[in-house]
């Protein structure tokens, strides 16, 4: 056993006295093998791969494999001419599918400025660090690879890694862990030394050379005991040292001397990499954000990495500045006994921070070029930079800075603590000194400063003895102000906020004196308050950029202060401010704008808009047609049929339960519709039992009144004895339809769909944010359907018709022939009301009305006037046989009557005599064969976008 262990130690490390490190197992999300086929390799690379594989096999880094896992392998040639073997582990590294990431142990590079100045250094590099750290035995098969054979003339050779493979997701973390364990005894024994370890690079610093030698000697032994090896050809003991890409001298840290190749900068990806590299060394170079604005601007636009980019002359100058800074910039190593200070400079674009020790520069600090907010106050930027740099200093040395120097007076600092939340956060728990005296040194003189730190023109309180001006803007492009004088400006913008912004800019330009501005746009007020000292975020909208920049320039050019505040529009509050704001609103508002706003809120139909506002039919139709929700959610045509309706309000109700799943536990919507007025009432309930039905009906009684009759389906809630008892108490008659036949409930079924469609319109396309509960959403929909919408066969809203009993149709009371199907005879009756495809006819006095399909109706051709039904009844009443014989002799007789009936039904739908006459003329033309009758087919949509007034237009837009 002892000889076996010795052989294992020798085969793994080549040193018989050292135990191999204990491996760290990996965590896998799946045991399903991942196999990626090996791609063909050129002969030269294949030969190099065989040599490298044999070399690794001899060192014990790989072993033969029959693993079901496979990752492609390839080789690259170094500048020295040597080949390097790499494994493509992208499939294995898939974080969400295969391997569990361990997370980084060193999320950033250490700052070399924290190495004490004048301390001697020694820098070492661990040799083949990954290859000296073993994989757990159960993990080896996951990292198998295949060396192919040319033309498949022999079996491929397969191996698997026994040590950390380069390119594996968790290899750096495991390496850092192993090296960190090896260095822990060194850190404990030589705690007064400064040791930096990053991956496999180690730096040691000590106050004296003797102590450094002792530390290094002990470190060598600990590294060897851990199974790691030091690369003897990479040990550095004299200046200049090179570590983590920087050059280290006794007191200075300098960036590497590099030259930027500008001929390769052609795509977004090229510039992204360049700016990433520059940002990495900016804390050393000290290039403020404003000096790189043009380079950052190149990144705007298309997000495709291969999209073309061009180096502008301004950006070329900025690259030249970067190259100059690379050649001359330097930072200082610190004195471990002295404290750090933070200087904040009010540079253009955004403030710049500098960490110093006495007068020695330690590190620069900057804010990002782009911001999250559209407007960021300069004082807020300073506070953000202070908070950011304080955290950086704590990370570097474990302590807050001793002093923070800012370009503000003592009183301004006091006001900042009172008024700025960002300032309070940035300086929270700071116990050091806040000063405004900068050290006397020339290293900061190149910085370009700004004077716009705190507002000079904008006031936070109303100005006394100043003019008051009211502004307003409209989405029709008009901007206006009113006050000592009035002015209306026609703009190119179709946004009310942008038009209002133009109004404010115009006021600031027109009044060269102190003014108080009152606006009903909270957005414009806040923007105007902040713009004087704000950094304006770049927007892809060029118009918005131009407006904001013009606003800022206008404010900064003013010689007199101004104050701006917000007032709520369209309120009934008394006082001169409300009246003056209404006057400004009148300068830009119109009935069309108000109609658009109401439709955006409620999705009222065309006829409702026309009835409520002074707009044309075309304007109302345009509003509805441009609404995406109303176009998508138009209801299909309902088939004509007979469904008896009430002849007055509360004569007959239909009631049903529908479901809206988005309402959650209140998804049971009980719906009641008055069949005469089409007035709808609905409530959200948690079920559809009798108790829920009674609760719903009591709500209906409070709104609609008590009906004479209710028709429902045969649901258990409607057929229970408790419900029948409830109805008898209220003296209400109850009927049910034919079981499983929804046509008997066609009116309420249609109402269910109309109501749910309205809910969807207002939820997905509405402007109201207050309707958050199910009942609030339902109430808004009911308000629109009852009090705003006007349907095809109505001239008033359902609410007006229900509450006043006003009839819509002027075509009632005419005598008509109707066919009694039971007796097969024709009788004379009087029309009570017309419907779609049917009419309600009174057979005579003291007789119940009957509902007759229009195909069983004929007009009474004698003059109606004072004609009595009893006059010449025998000659007036056509017998069935007589009529049939007449039909056979002259086929046009019945067709003429049917056209007339169709004409009268259409006229009843249209609702006005003038429009009815127009349609009568068209139908007469149709009957004579002059026009295709189908072109004038009436639109049957309840929410017809043409209001039922223009049937031909409906064929092209509604259908």
Annotated ligand binding at 599? The verdict is: yes
Per the rule left: phi > 0, alpha: psi between -120 and 50, beta: everything else, 844 is: left
Task: Please count the other Cβ atoms lying within 10 Å of the Cβ belonging to residue 222.
Answer: 16
Distance CA 843, CA 854 (A): 15
| Chain Cα centroid distance, residue 878 | 71
Q: How far is CA 901 from CA 16, 333, 836, 896, in A?
A: 113, 102, 12, 9
**Looking at 383-514, which runs of residues are DSSP E strands?**
403-405, 433-435, 458-459, 467-473, 478-482, 487-490
Collapsing DSSP to helix, strand or coil, 865 comes out as: coil
User: Is the CB of residue 467 less than 8 Å from the CB of residue 515?
Assistant: yes
Query: Which pair of tokens denotes residue 167?
Result: 């390119």
Distance CA 295, CA 292 (A): 5
Four-CA torsion 78, 83, 85, 90, nearest 10 degrees:
40
Residues in the chain: 959
- Choose among 619, 635, 939, 675: nearest CA to 760: 635
User: Is the CB of residue 718 less than 8 Å from the CB of residue 747?
Assistant: no
Query: Which pair of tokens denotes residue 83?
Result: 């080949």
User: Is the CB of residue 500 less than 8 Å from the CB of residue 525?
Assistant: no
Write b or e for each residue in 846-859: b if 16 or more Cβ atoms lie within 10 A of its Cβ, otherwise e.
eeebbebbbebbbb
Annotated ligand binding at 678? The verdict is: no
Beta bridge partners, 768, equal none
Collapsing DSSP to helix, strand or coil, 191 comes out as: coil
Task: Please count the other Cβ atoms lying within 10 Å of the Cβ belonging to residue 738.
Answer: 11
Element (H, E) at 194: strand 194-198
Q: How far is CA 263 from CA 259, 297, 310, 311, 316, in A?
A: 12, 19, 10, 9, 11
Q: Which residue has the tokens 């004082």?
A: 379
Distance CA 292, CA 287 (A): 8
User: Is the CB of residue 906 less than 8 Å from the CB of residue 893?
Assistant: no
User: Is the CB of residue 514 less than 8 Å from the CB of residue 463?
Assistant: yes
DSSP classification of residue 163: B
**Orientation of helix 542-557 relative to helix 522-530, angle to 10°:** 60
Per the rule left: phi > 0, alpha: psi between -120 and 50, beta: everything else, 301 is: left
Distance CA 410, CA 351 (A): 19
Collapsing DSSP to helix, strand or coil, 715 comes out as: coil
Annotated ligand binding at 630? The verdict is: yes
| Residue 516 main-chain phi, psi, to 5 deg | -110, 125
Annotated ligand binding at 530? The verdict is: no
Annotated ligand binding at 472? The verdict is: yes
Distance CA 556, CA 551 (A): 9
Collapsing DSSP to helix, strand or coil, 283 comes out as: helix
Say which residues have a Cβ less than 8 Å from residue 866's Cβ, sequence separation at least 6: none
Annotated ligand binding at 627? The verdict is: yes
Per the rule left: phi > 0, alpha: psi between -120 and 50, beta: everything else, 227 is: left
Say which residues have a Cβ less than 8 Å from residue 81's Cβ, sequence separation at least 6: none
Collapsing DSSP to helix, strand or coil, 868 comes out as: coil
Annotated ligand binding at 659? The verdict is: no
Annotated ligand binding at 585? The verdict is: yes
User: Is the CB of residue 102 less than 8 Å from the CB of residue 170?
Assistant: yes
The strand order across the sheet containing 121-125 reads 121-125, 201-205, 194-198
For the annotated binding site for Zn(2+), the residues are 599, 603, 627, 630
For the annotated binding site for Mg(2+), the residues are 472, 500, 520, 585
For the annotated binding site, the residues are 472, 500, 520, 585, 599, 603, 627, 630
């Amino acid at each position: 056993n002892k000889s076996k262990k010795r052989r294992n130690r020798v085969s793994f490390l080549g040193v018989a006295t050292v135990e191999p490190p204990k491996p760290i197992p990996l965590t896998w999300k799946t045991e399903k093998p991942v196999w990626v086929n090996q791609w063909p390799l050129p002969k030269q690379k294949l030969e190099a791969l065989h040599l490298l594989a044999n070399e690794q096999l001899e060192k014990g880094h790989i072993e033969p494999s029959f693993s079901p896992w496979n990752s492609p392998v390839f080789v690259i040639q170094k500048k020295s001419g040597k080949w390097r073997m790499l494994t493509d582990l992208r499939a294995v590294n898939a974080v969400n599918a295969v391997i569990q990431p361990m997370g980084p142990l060193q999320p950033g590079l250490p700052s070399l400025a924290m190495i004490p100045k004048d301390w001697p250094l020694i820098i070492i590099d661990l040799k083949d660090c990954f290859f000296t750290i073993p994989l757990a035995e159960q993990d080896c098969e996951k990292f198998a690879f295949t060396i192919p054979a040319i033309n498949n003339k022999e079996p491929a050779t397969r191996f698997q890694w026994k040590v950390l493979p380069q390119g594996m997701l968790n290899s750096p973390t495991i390496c850092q862990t192993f090296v960190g364990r090896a260095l822990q005894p060194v850190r404990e024994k030589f705690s007064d030394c400064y040791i930096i370890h990053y991956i496999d690079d180690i730096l040691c610093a000590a106050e004296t050379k003797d102590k450094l030698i002792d530390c290094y000697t002990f470190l060598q032994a600990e590294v060897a005991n851990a199974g790691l090896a030091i690369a003897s050809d990479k040990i550095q003991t004299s200046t200049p040292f090179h570590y983590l890409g920087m050059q280290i001298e006794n007191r200075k840290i300098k960036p590497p001397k590099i030259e930027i190749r500008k001929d390769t900068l052609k795509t977004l990806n090229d510039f992204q990499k360049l700016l990433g590299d520059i940002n990495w060394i900016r804390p050393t170079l000290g290039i403020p954000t404003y000096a790189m604005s043009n380079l950052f601007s190149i990144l705007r636009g298309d997000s495709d990495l291969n999209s073309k980019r061009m180096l502008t002359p301004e950006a070329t100058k900025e690259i030249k500045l970067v190259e100059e800074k690379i050649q001359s910039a330097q930072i200082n190593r610190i004195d471990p006994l002295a404290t750090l200070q933070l200087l904040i400079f009010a540079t253009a674009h955004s403030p710049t921070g500098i960490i110093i020790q006495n007068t020695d520069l330690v590190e620069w600090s900057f804010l990002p070029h782009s911001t999250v907010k559209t407007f960021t106050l300069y004082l807020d930027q300073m506070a953000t930079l202070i908070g950011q740099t304080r955290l950086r200093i704590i990370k570097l040395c474990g302590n807050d800075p001793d002093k923070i120097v800012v370009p503000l007076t003592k009183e301004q600092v006091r006001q900042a603590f009172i008024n700025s939340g960002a300032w309070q956060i940035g300086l929270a728990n700071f116990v050091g000194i806040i000063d405004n005296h900068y050290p006397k040194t020339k290293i900061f003189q190149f910085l370009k400063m700004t004077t716009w730190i705190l507002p000079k023109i904008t006031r936070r309180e109303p100005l006394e003895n100043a003019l008051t001006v009211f502004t307003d803007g409209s989405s029709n492009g008009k901007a206006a102000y009113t006050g000592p004088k009035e002015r209306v400006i026609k703009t190119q913008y179709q946004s009310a906020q942008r038009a209002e912004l133009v109004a404010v800019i115009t006021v600031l330009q027109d009044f060269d004196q102190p003014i108080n501005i009152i606006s009903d746009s909270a957005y414009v007020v806040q923007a105007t308050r902040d713009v004087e000292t704000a950094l304006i975020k770049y927007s892809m909208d060029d118009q918005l950029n131009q407006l904001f920049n013009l606003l800022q320039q206008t404010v900064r050019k003013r010689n007199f202060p101004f104050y701006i505040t917000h007032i709520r529009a369209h309120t009934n509050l008394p006082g001169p401010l409300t009246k003056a704001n209404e006057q400004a609103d009148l300068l830009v508002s119109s009935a069309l704008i108000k109609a658009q706003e109401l439709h955006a809120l409620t999705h009222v139909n065309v006829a409702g808009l026309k009835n409520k506002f002074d707009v044309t039919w075309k304007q109302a139709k345009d509003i509805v047609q441009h609404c995406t929700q109303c176009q998508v959610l138009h209801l299909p045509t309902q088939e004509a049929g007979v469904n008896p309706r009430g002849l007055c309000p509360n004569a007959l109700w239909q009631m049903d339960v529908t479901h809206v799943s988005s309402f959650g536990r209140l998804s049971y919507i009980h719906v009641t519709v008055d069949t005469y007025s089409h007035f709808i009432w609905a409530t959200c309930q948690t079920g559809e039992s009798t108790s829920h039905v009674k609760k719903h009906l009591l709500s209906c009684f409070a709104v609609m009144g008590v009906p004479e009759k209710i028709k429902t389906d045969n649901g258990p809630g409607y057929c229970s004895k408790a419900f029948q008892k409830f109805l008898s108490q209220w003296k209400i008659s109850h009927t049910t339809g034919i079981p499983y036949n929804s046509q008997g409930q066609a009116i309420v079924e249609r109402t269910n769909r109309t109501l749910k469609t309205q809910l969807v319109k207002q939820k997905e396309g509405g402007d109201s944010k207050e309707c958050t509960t199910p009942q609030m959403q339902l109430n808004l929909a009911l308000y629109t359907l009852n009090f705003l919408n006007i349907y095809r066969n109505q001239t008033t809203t359902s609410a007006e018709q229900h509450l006043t009993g006003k009839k819509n149709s002027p075509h009632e009371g005419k005598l008509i022939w109707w066919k009694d199907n039971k007796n097969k005879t024709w009788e004379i009756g009087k029309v009570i009301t017309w419907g779609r495809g049917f009419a309600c006819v009174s057979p005579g006095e003291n007789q119940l009305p009957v509902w007759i399909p229009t195909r069983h109706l004929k007009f009474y051709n004698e003059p109606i006037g004072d004609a009595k039904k009893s006059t010449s009844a025998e000659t007036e009443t056509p017998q069935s046989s007589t009529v049939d014989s007449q039909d056979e002799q002259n086929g046009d007789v019945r067709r003429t009557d049917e056209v007339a009936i169709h004409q009268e039904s259409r006229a009843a739908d249209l609702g006005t005599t003038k429009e009815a006459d127009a349609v009568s003329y068209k139908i007469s033309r149709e009957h004579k064969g002059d026009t295709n009758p189908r072109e004038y087919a009436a639109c049957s949509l309840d929410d017809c976008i043409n209001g039922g007034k223009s049937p031909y237009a409906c064929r092209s837009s509604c259908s």
